[in-house]
Structure formats: C-alpha cells, structure tokens
A and B are shown apart, each in its own frame.
Chain A
C-alpha cells in the first residue's frame, strides 16, 4: 500500500460532461503529481503541485485544471470531455518538490467517456 488514495476507482460519463478526480497524498508528502496513462500515449505527466502551489506543468489540456488544497489533497477537473480523454489517471506524491524524489502512486481512476 503506497498510502496514496484516489477516488473514485472508476468513472463512466458522456462526452461534453465534467468530472472531478480526487487524490489524498501519502502522509507527510507535500508534492502531488497527476499523470494520464493511455495505450497510445503511455504515461504522460500532467501537472505538479507542491504545498498548495503549482510547481510544474506538462501535457495538460486547457480543458483540464487542478488544485491542491490546504490539507494537501488535490483534485483534477476534466471538462468538455471527449472520447479521447478515456484513460487511467494516476496521482502520485513525494516528500520533496524535485522530480528525482521517489514517487508513490495511487491505484488510479479509470475514466471511460462514452
């Protein structure tokens, strides 16, 4: 058990809708990272927050946004959903803010857009 909790485990929704994915980091970790995993693109880094502040941005679409709250949990908001957004979304956490700190991954949220 990594200590990172993601909810929900599965999400099925229709095109054009909006969803929110939630992540609680491992106790004591200050950084939260969001990744998208799909068969064709592999694992893609979306965004990182450190202690409530955005730290780095990757291949995150403008339709997607995220935030980290004072209690350090994070939410990833996906809007105007398209079929191609169907993927596994992972949250990871680490103690530090640099990417060579080991990451602890949650079990992911599987999003299916129909």
Chain B
C-alpha cells in the first residue's frame, strides 16, 4: 500500500523568499516520488522525480527536493520565489515493485506576493 500527505493546503511567501512545500509518504516497497505543478487552467507538469538514485533531486525552474527515508519525507524547496511560481503543487508516490499506479497528494497552493 502507498499513500502521500501534503502537510499544507496553502503556503504564502513573498517574492524573493525561500519556498518549502512539505510532503510525507508511506510505501510498502521502495518508492518513486514526483512533484508536479499545475498552473491555472493547465495540465500538470513534471517538476522533478526521485527513483532511488541521488537523494537530492534537482528539477526545473530552480526547484529541488530531498528524499529522506528515515523521515519518509520528500519536501520541495526553492531558494527564492518568483511570481510565476504561484500554482498548485502535487506530491506523488508509486512503488517500484510489481505494478503500481500513482497516488497523488491533495495538493498545496503556493501564493506569492510582491
């Protein structure tokens, strides 16, 4: 079984300040983890992916995430927020054993103020 919990439904930051979006997961087997971003009226776009290689994963647009097995976390960070980062972010888990579908978190809405 697998599940994912995004700890904040909304996060508000000022432009130029750091971003932290929190995600905890559970998985019976070795997981693959993703972060997707959804801008208004758009489909989801892959930001980054972890599949048991390096624990610090770099993605597009300056985002990165760190896989911490001991904490079952995969938090998304960015050093300096930009107005264009305002969107909804989804943490996603699947298992690397057998055939497993994706489980999406409920999403975190990132609000960026000038």
- Cβ proximity bits B39-58 to A, threshold 8 Å, 1 near / 0 not: 00111111001010000000
Whether the pair A42, B44 counts as a contact (CB closer than 8 A) is: no
Q: Knowing A90-B43, A102-B49 touch, does A42 contact B99 (C-beta < 8 A)?
A: no
Q: How far is the CA of A42 from the CA of B34 in the complex (A)?
A: 16
Q: How far is the CA of A82 from the CA of B46 in the complex (A)?
A: 32
Q: Which of A43, A99, A105 contacts B45 (CB 8 A)?
A: A105
Whether the pair B94, A100 counts as a contact (CB closer than 8 A) is: yes
Q: How far is the CA of A59 from the CA of B31 in the complex (A)?
A: 22
- Please report whether the interface of chain B is mostly helix, strand, loop or mixed according to DSSP: loop
Closest to A45 in B: B101
Whether the pair B44, A99 counts as a contact (CB closer than 8 A) is: no
Q: How far is the CA of A29 from the CA of B99 in the complex (A)?
A: 19
Chain A residues contacting B45 (CB-CB under 8 Å) are: 2, 105
Q: How far is the CA of A114 from the CA of B5 in the complex (A)?
A: 33
Whether the pair A108, B104 counts as a contact (CB closer than 8 A) is: no
Whether the pair A4, B32 counts as a contact (CB closer than 8 A) is: no
Q: How far is the CA of A49 from the CA of B42 in the complex (A)?
A: 23
Whether the pair A90, B44 counts as a contact (CB closer than 8 A) is: yes
Within 8 A of A (CB), among B31-83: 32, 34, 36, 41-46, 49, 51
Which residues in A have some Cβ–Cβ distance to B below 8 Å?
Answer: 2, 4, 42-43, 45, 48, 56, 58, 90, 92, 98-100, 102-108
Closest 5 CB pairs of A and B: A105-B43, A100-B32, A43-B104, A105-B44, A99-B94
Which residues in B have some Cβ–Cβ distance to A below 8 Å?
Answer: 32, 34, 36, 41-46, 49, 51, 90, 94, 96, 99-102, 104-107
